[in-house]
Amino acid sequence: MSKVVERESAEALGVARSLLRRAERIVALTGAGVSAESGVPTFRGAGGLWKTYRAEDLATPEAFGRDARLVWEWYGWRRSVVLSCAPNAAHRALAGASATRPDFRVVTQNVDGLHVAASDGVGPPPLELHGSLFRIRCTGCGVGREDRSVIDATSIETLPHCKTCTALMRPDIVWFGEPLNATILGEAARLASMADVCLVVGTSAVVHPAAGLADLTRRGGGSIIEVNVASTPITDVAAASLRGPAAVIVPELLRHE
Ligand code: BJW
Ligand code: ZN
Protein backbone atom coordinates (compact mmCIF):
# COMPACT_ATOMS: atom_id res chain seq x y z
CA MET A 1 0.00 0.00 0.00
CA SER A 2 1.28 3.50 -0.82
CA LYS A 3 2.61 5.63 1.98
CA VAL A 4 0.14 8.40 2.79
CA VAL A 5 1.76 11.81 2.95
CA GLU A 6 -0.56 14.32 4.54
CA ARG A 7 -0.51 18.04 3.83
CA GLU A 8 0.67 18.71 7.38
CA SER A 9 3.93 16.88 6.65
CA ALA A 10 6.48 19.14 5.02
CA GLU A 11 7.06 16.63 2.24
CA ALA A 12 3.49 16.46 0.98
CA LEU A 13 3.48 19.18 -1.65
CA GLY A 14 6.99 18.19 -2.77
CA VAL A 15 6.01 14.53 -3.20
CA ALA A 16 2.89 15.47 -5.15
CA ARG A 17 4.74 17.93 -7.38
CA SER A 18 7.48 15.44 -8.10
CA LEU A 19 4.91 12.76 -9.07
CA LEU A 20 3.22 15.27 -11.38
CA ARG A 21 6.51 16.40 -12.90
CA ARG A 22 7.51 12.83 -13.76
CA ALA A 23 4.05 11.87 -15.03
CA GLU A 24 3.38 11.70 -18.75
CA ARG A 25 -0.34 11.05 -18.46
CA ILE A 26 -2.48 12.68 -15.79
CA VAL A 27 -6.19 12.46 -15.14
CA ALA A 28 -7.86 14.87 -12.73
CA LEU A 29 -11.04 13.40 -11.20
CA THR A 30 -13.12 16.12 -9.59
CA GLY A 31 -16.23 16.36 -7.44
CA ALA A 32 -18.44 18.97 -5.81
CA GLY A 33 -15.64 20.24 -3.53
CA VAL A 34 -13.82 21.78 -6.50
CA SER A 35 -16.79 24.12 -6.98
CA ALA A 36 -17.42 24.81 -3.28
CA GLU A 37 -15.41 28.03 -3.33
CA SER A 38 -17.40 29.19 -6.36
CA GLY A 39 -20.50 29.04 -4.14
CA VAL A 40 -22.00 25.80 -5.53
CA PRO A 41 -23.37 23.63 -2.68
CA THR A 42 -21.81 20.18 -2.22
CA PHE A 43 -23.99 17.08 -1.68
CA ARG A 44 -22.64 15.57 1.53
CA GLY A 45 -21.25 17.04 4.72
CA ALA A 46 -22.23 20.24 6.54
CA GLY A 47 -24.32 22.48 4.28
CA GLY A 48 -24.57 19.73 1.64
CA LEU A 49 -27.74 19.38 -0.46
CA TRP A 50 -28.52 15.92 0.94
CA LYS A 51 -28.79 17.44 4.44
CA THR A 52 -31.87 19.41 3.36
CA TYR A 53 -33.22 17.33 0.47
CA ARG A 54 -33.70 13.57 0.09
CA ALA A 55 -31.92 12.15 -2.96
CA GLU A 56 -34.72 9.55 -3.31
CA ASP A 57 -37.29 12.37 -3.74
CA LEU A 58 -35.34 14.38 -6.28
CA ALA A 59 -32.50 12.55 -8.00
CA THR A 60 -33.96 9.23 -9.16
CA PRO A 61 -36.03 8.28 -12.22
CA GLU A 62 -38.76 7.07 -9.81
CA ALA A 63 -38.94 10.55 -8.22
CA PHE A 64 -39.35 12.12 -11.68
CA GLY A 65 -42.07 9.59 -12.54
CA ARG A 66 -43.93 10.42 -9.30
CA ASP A 67 -43.64 14.20 -9.36
CA ALA A 68 -41.85 15.70 -12.37
CA ARG A 69 -42.98 19.21 -11.38
CA LEU A 70 -41.27 18.98 -7.96
CA VAL A 71 -38.07 17.56 -9.46
CA TRP A 72 -38.00 20.32 -12.11
CA GLU A 73 -38.63 22.97 -9.44
CA TRP A 74 -35.52 21.77 -7.60
CA TYR A 75 -33.42 21.65 -10.76
CA GLY A 76 -34.67 25.12 -11.74
CA TRP A 77 -33.40 26.38 -8.40
CA ARG A 78 -30.06 24.54 -8.81
CA ARG A 79 -29.64 26.09 -12.28
CA SER A 80 -30.30 29.58 -10.92
CA VAL A 81 -27.71 29.08 -8.15
CA VAL A 82 -25.05 27.87 -10.59
CA LEU A 83 -25.80 30.66 -13.11
CA SER A 84 -24.70 33.14 -10.44
CA CYS A 85 -21.37 31.28 -9.89
CA ALA A 86 -18.08 31.54 -11.78
CA PRO A 87 -15.11 29.17 -12.10
CA ASN A 88 -12.55 29.55 -9.28
CA ALA A 89 -8.76 29.26 -9.21
CA ALA A 90 -8.90 25.45 -9.08
CA HIS A 91 -11.04 25.22 -12.25
CA ARG A 92 -8.71 27.69 -13.96
CA ALA A 93 -5.53 25.85 -12.93
CA LEU A 94 -6.94 22.52 -14.16
CA ALA A 95 -8.07 24.12 -17.43
CA GLY A 96 -4.61 25.67 -17.86
CA ALA A 97 -2.87 22.32 -17.33
CA SER A 98 -5.28 20.63 -19.71
CA ALA A 99 -4.60 23.25 -22.39
CA THR A 100 -0.80 23.17 -22.05
CA ARG A 101 0.10 19.55 -21.21
CA PRO A 102 -0.58 17.03 -23.97
CA ASP A 103 -1.90 14.27 -21.71
CA PHE A 104 -3.77 16.05 -18.95
CA ARG A 105 -7.52 15.38 -18.90
CA VAL A 106 -10.23 16.53 -16.53
CA VAL A 107 -12.97 14.02 -15.65
CA THR A 108 -15.71 15.47 -13.47
CA GLN A 109 -18.74 14.21 -11.58
CA ASN A 110 -20.03 17.78 -11.45
CA VAL A 111 -23.06 18.93 -13.42
CA ASP A 112 -22.38 22.67 -12.95
CA GLY A 113 -20.42 23.20 -16.19
CA LEU A 114 -17.71 25.24 -14.43
CA HIS A 115 -14.81 23.15 -15.84
CA VAL A 116 -16.14 23.76 -19.34
CA ALA A 117 -16.56 27.48 -18.59
CA ALA A 118 -12.96 27.67 -17.29
CA SER A 119 -11.54 25.91 -20.35
CA ASP A 120 -13.20 28.40 -22.72
CA GLY A 121 -12.95 25.91 -25.57
CA VAL A 122 -9.15 25.59 -25.26
CA GLY A 123 -7.71 22.07 -24.84
CA PRO A 124 -9.58 18.77 -24.78
CA PRO A 125 -13.08 19.06 -23.29
CA PRO A 126 -13.63 17.93 -19.70
CA LEU A 127 -15.52 14.64 -19.49
CA GLU A 128 -18.79 15.17 -17.58
CA LEU A 129 -19.68 11.79 -16.07
CA HIS A 130 -23.02 12.77 -14.51
CA GLY A 131 -24.37 15.06 -17.23
CA SER A 132 -25.15 18.75 -17.07
CA LEU A 133 -27.65 21.05 -15.38
CA PHE A 134 -27.83 22.94 -18.67
CA ARG A 135 -28.75 20.09 -20.99
CA ILE A 136 -32.23 18.62 -21.22
CA ARG A 137 -33.44 15.43 -22.88
CA CYS A 138 -36.79 14.19 -24.15
CA THR A 139 -38.51 11.45 -22.12
CA GLY A 140 -40.24 10.37 -25.34
CA CYS A 141 -37.86 10.39 -28.31
CA GLY A 142 -34.62 10.94 -26.39
CA VAL A 143 -33.51 14.04 -28.33
CA GLY A 144 -31.32 16.36 -26.23
CA ARG A 145 -30.40 20.03 -26.34
CA GLU A 146 -28.58 22.77 -24.43
CA ASP A 147 -30.96 24.84 -22.32
CA ARG A 148 -30.27 27.72 -19.94
CA SER A 149 -33.80 29.11 -19.73
CA VAL A 150 -35.58 29.89 -16.46
CA ILE A 151 -37.72 26.88 -15.50
CA ASP A 152 -41.39 27.66 -14.90
CA ALA A 153 -42.46 24.83 -12.58
CA THR A 154 -45.99 26.14 -11.96
CA SER A 155 -47.49 23.03 -13.56
CA ILE A 156 -46.59 20.10 -15.84
CA GLU A 157 -47.75 22.18 -18.84
CA THR A 158 -45.28 25.00 -18.13
CA LEU A 159 -42.27 22.63 -17.92
CA PRO A 160 -39.97 22.23 -20.96
CA HIS A 161 -41.49 20.01 -23.69
CA CYS A 162 -39.91 18.42 -26.75
CA LYS A 163 -39.94 20.48 -29.95
CA THR A 164 -39.98 17.26 -31.98
CA CYS A 165 -42.53 14.97 -30.27
CA THR A 166 -44.05 17.25 -27.55
CA ALA A 167 -43.22 14.82 -24.69
CA LEU A 168 -41.90 16.15 -21.37
CA MET A 169 -38.18 16.98 -21.22
CA ARG A 170 -36.04 15.99 -18.20
CA PRO A 171 -32.68 17.22 -16.90
CA ASP A 172 -29.88 15.41 -18.81
CA ILE A 173 -28.36 14.24 -15.55
CA VAL A 174 -27.44 10.76 -14.33
CA TRP A 175 -29.71 9.97 -11.41
CA PHE A 176 -29.18 7.20 -8.86
CA GLY A 177 -29.84 3.79 -10.39
CA GLU A 178 -29.23 5.02 -13.95
CA PRO A 179 -26.27 3.94 -16.06
CA LEU A 180 -23.64 6.50 -17.00
CA ASN A 181 -23.16 7.26 -20.71
CA ALA A 182 -21.14 4.25 -21.86
CA THR A 183 -18.91 6.22 -24.26
CA ILE A 184 -18.00 8.85 -21.65
CA LEU A 185 -17.44 6.28 -18.89
CA GLY A 186 -15.40 4.07 -21.24
CA GLU A 187 -13.16 7.00 -22.19
CA ALA A 188 -12.75 8.02 -18.52
CA ALA A 189 -11.84 4.43 -17.58
CA ARG A 190 -9.34 4.23 -20.45
CA LEU A 191 -7.68 7.50 -19.39
CA ALA A 192 -7.61 6.47 -15.71
CA SER A 193 -6.14 3.02 -16.48
CA MET A 194 -3.33 4.57 -18.54
CA ALA A 195 -2.61 7.51 -16.22
CA ASP A 196 0.63 7.82 -14.26
CA VAL A 197 -1.20 10.05 -11.78
CA CYS A 198 -4.87 10.41 -10.85
CA LEU A 199 -5.35 13.78 -9.15
CA VAL A 200 -8.54 13.41 -7.11
CA VAL A 201 -10.01 16.78 -6.10
CA GLY A 202 -12.98 17.53 -3.84
CA THR A 203 -14.93 14.31 -3.98
CA SER A 204 -16.23 12.18 -1.12
CA ALA A 205 -15.42 9.19 -3.40
CA VAL A 206 -18.50 7.21 -2.39
CA VAL A 207 -20.55 7.30 -5.59
CA HIS A 208 -19.79 4.56 -8.08
CA PRO A 209 -18.69 3.92 -10.77
CA ALA A 210 -16.92 7.34 -10.67
CA ALA A 211 -15.24 6.62 -7.33
CA GLY A 212 -13.62 3.50 -8.78
CA LEU A 213 -11.71 5.39 -11.48
CA ALA A 214 -8.79 6.31 -9.19
CA ASP A 215 -8.34 2.66 -8.37
CA LEU A 216 -7.94 1.90 -12.09
CA THR A 217 -4.91 4.22 -12.09
CA ARG A 218 -3.44 2.48 -9.05
CA ARG A 219 -4.02 -0.97 -10.51
CA GLY A 220 -2.30 0.18 -13.70
CA GLY A 221 0.81 1.08 -11.66
CA GLY A 222 0.09 4.82 -11.30
CA SER A 223 -0.28 6.97 -8.18
CA ILE A 224 -3.11 8.89 -6.58
CA ILE A 225 -2.80 12.45 -5.28
CA GLU A 226 -5.77 13.67 -3.27
CA VAL A 227 -6.83 17.26 -2.57
CA ASN A 228 -9.66 17.60 -0.07
CA VAL A 229 -10.56 19.47 3.10
CA ALA A 230 -11.36 16.12 4.77
CA SER A 231 -10.26 12.50 4.52
CA THR A 232 -12.14 10.08 2.24
CA PRO A 233 -12.01 6.37 1.37
CA ILE A 234 -9.25 7.31 -1.11
CA THR A 235 -6.96 8.92 1.48
CA ASP A 236 -5.48 5.62 2.65
CA VAL A 237 -4.40 4.59 -0.84
CA ALA A 238 -3.16 8.01 -1.99
CA ALA A 239 0.58 8.54 -2.40
CA ALA A 240 0.06 12.13 -1.23
CA SER A 241 -2.99 13.61 0.43
CA LEU A 242 -3.14 17.39 0.53
CA ARG A 243 -5.53 18.85 3.08
CA GLY A 244 -7.06 22.20 2.20
CA PRO A 245 -9.39 24.08 -0.11
CA ALA A 246 -9.08 23.15 -3.77
CA ALA A 247 -8.89 26.79 -4.92
CA VAL A 248 -5.73 27.23 -2.84
CA ILE A 249 -4.04 23.83 -3.17
CA VAL A 250 -4.65 22.99 -6.85
CA PRO A 251 -3.06 26.18 -8.28
CA GLU A 252 -0.14 25.73 -5.87
CA LEU A 253 0.28 22.14 -6.98
CA LEU A 254 0.12 22.83 -10.71
CA ARG A 255 2.01 26.14 -10.74
CA HIS A 256 5.30 24.74 -12.06
CA GLU A 257 3.82 21.84 -13.95
C1 BJW B 1 -13.74 20.16 -0.61
C2 BJW B 1 -14.04 21.51 -0.46
C3 BJW B 1 -13.07 22.42 -0.89
C4 BJW B 1 -15.72 20.37 0.26
N5 BJW B 1 -11.93 22.00 -1.42
N6 BJW B 1 -12.60 19.75 -1.12
C7 BJW B 1 -24.02 0.30 -2.86
C8 BJW B 1 -22.64 0.20 -3.03
C9 BJW B 1 -22.01 0.69 -4.16
C10 BJW B 1 -22.75 1.31 -5.16
C11 BJW B 1 -24.11 1.42 -4.98
C12 BJW B 1 -24.74 0.92 -3.85
N13 BJW B 1 -26.07 1.19 -3.95
C14 BJW B 1 -26.29 1.86 -5.11
C15 BJW B 1 -25.12 1.99 -5.74
C16 BJW B 1 -24.89 2.67 -7.02
C17 BJW B 1 -24.95 4.18 -6.89
C18 BJW B 1 -23.98 4.60 -5.80
O19 BJW B 1 -22.79 4.74 -6.01
N20 BJW B 1 -24.50 4.85 -4.60
C21 BJW B 1 -23.65 5.15 -3.43
C22 BJW B 1 -24.05 6.51 -2.86
C23 BJW B 1 -23.79 4.05 -2.44
N24 BJW B 1 -24.54 4.70 -8.19
C25 BJW B 1 -25.42 4.89 -9.14
O26 BJW B 1 -26.61 4.69 -9.01
C27 BJW B 1 -24.85 5.32 -10.49
N28 BJW B 1 -25.35 4.48 -11.51
C29 BJW B 1 -25.11 3.16 -11.54
O30 BJW B 1 -24.41 2.60 -10.72
O31 BJW B 1 -25.71 2.53 -12.59
C32 BJW B 1 -25.59 1.12 -12.67
C33 BJW B 1 -26.55 0.65 -13.75
C34 BJW B 1 -26.05 -0.10 -14.79
C35 BJW B 1 -26.92 -0.55 -15.77
C36 BJW B 1 -28.27 -0.23 -15.72
C37 BJW B 1 -28.76 0.53 -14.67
C38 BJW B 1 -27.89 0.98 -13.68
C39 BJW B 1 -25.29 6.72 -10.81
C40 BJW B 1 -24.76 7.71 -9.84
C41 BJW B 1 -25.31 9.09 -10.18
C42 BJW B 1 -24.90 10.09 -9.13
N43 BJW B 1 -25.67 11.23 -9.28
C44 BJW B 1 -25.45 12.34 -8.36
C45 BJW B 1 -26.64 13.28 -8.46
C46 BJW B 1 -26.65 14.00 -9.73
C47 BJW B 1 -27.85 14.78 -9.70
C48 BJW B 1 -27.61 16.21 -9.42
O49 BJW B 1 -26.53 16.76 -9.36
O50 BJW B 1 -28.63 16.75 -9.29
O51 BJW B 1 -24.22 12.95 -8.66
S52 BJW B 1 -25.28 11.89 -6.66
C53 BJW B 1 -24.16 13.16 -6.27
O54 BJW B 1 -22.99 12.48 -5.77
C55 BJW B 1 -23.78 13.82 -7.60
C56 BJW B 1 -22.28 13.86 -7.50
O57 BJW B 1 -21.71 13.93 -8.80
C58 BJW B 1 -21.96 12.59 -6.77
C59 BJW B 1 -20.61 12.59 -6.09
O60 BJW B 1 -20.57 13.56 -5.08
P61 BJW B 1 -19.22 14.38 -4.84
O62 BJW B 1 -18.88 15.14 -6.04
O63 BJW B 1 -18.19 13.47 -4.30
O64 BJW B 1 -19.70 15.44 -3.73
P65 BJW B 1 -19.85 15.26 -2.17
O66 BJW B 1 -20.71 16.34 -1.69
O67 BJW B 1 -20.21 13.89 -1.80
O68 BJW B 1 -18.36 15.47 -1.62
C69 BJW B 1 -17.72 16.72 -1.65
C70 BJW B 1 -16.29 16.53 -1.21
O71 BJW B 1 -15.61 17.75 -1.36
C72 BJW B 1 -16.15 16.10 0.26
O73 BJW B 1 -15.19 15.06 0.36
C74 BJW B 1 -15.64 17.37 0.96
O75 BJW B 1 -14.78 17.08 2.05
C76 BJW B 1 -14.89 18.04 -0.16
N77 BJW B 1 -14.79 19.51 -0.10
N78 BJW B 1 -15.24 21.65 0.15
C79 BJW B 1 -11.70 20.68 -1.48
N80 BJW B 1 -13.26 23.79 -0.74
ZN1 ZN C 1 -39.19 14.11 -28.10
pLDDT for 74 equals 95
Which residues, by Cβ under 5 Å, contact ligand 2, an ion? 138, 140-141, 162, 164-165, 167
Q: Is 130 in the active site?
A: yes
**Domain range annotation of the chain:** 1-40+86-130+180-257, 41-84+131-173
Tens digit of each residue's pLDDT (9 = 90 or more) over 2-50: 444 454 455 888 999 999 999 999 999 999 999 999 999 999 988 899 8
Closest residue CA from atom 62 of ligand 1? 31
* CATH number, domain 1-40+86-130+180-257: 3.40.50.1220
Closest residue CA from atom 75 of ligand 1? 230
Average pLDDT in the chain: 94
113 CB under 6 A from ligand 1? no
pLDDT for 9 equals 58
204 CB under 6 A from ligand 1? yes
Tens digit of each residue's pLDDT (9 = 90 or more) over 111-161: 999 999 999 889 999 999 999 999 999 999 999 999 999 999 999 999 999
Buried b (16+ CB within 10 A) or exposed e, 14-35: ebbbebbeebebbbbbbbbbbb
Q: Which of 105, 255, 123 is nearest to 192 (CA)?
A: 105
pLDDT for 3 equals 45
Asked if the model's pLDDT at residue 239 lies above 90, the reply is yes
Instruction: Mention every residue, 6+ apart, whose C-beta is less than 8 A from residue 67.
Output: none
Q: How, if at all, do strands 169-173 and 240-243 pair?
A: unpaired
Per DSSP, helices labelled H in the chain are: 12-22, 49-52, 55-58, 61-66, 68-83, 89-100, 114-119, 182-194, 213-219, 246-254
Instruction: Report the alpha-carbon distance of residue 126 to residue 113 in Å, rounded.
Output: 9
Residue pair 159/74 in contact (Cβ under 8 Å)? The answer is no
SS3 250: helix
Instruction: Report the alpha-carbon distance of residue 114 to residue 57 in Å, rounded.
Output: 26
Q: Which of 91, 115, 130, 161 is catalytic?
A: 130
- Give distance in angstroms: CA of 256 to centre of ligand 1: 31
pLDDT for 1 equals 37
Tens digit of each residue's pLDDT (9 = 90 or more) over 68-107: 999 999 999 999 999 999 999 999 999 999 999 989 999 9
**CATH fold for domain 41-84+131-173:** SIR2/SIRT2 'Small Domain' (3.30.1600)
Instruction: Report the alpha-carbon distance of residue 208 to residue 199 in Å, rounded.
Output: 17
Instruction: Report the alpha-carbon distance of residue 44 to residue 54 in Å, rounded.
Output: 11
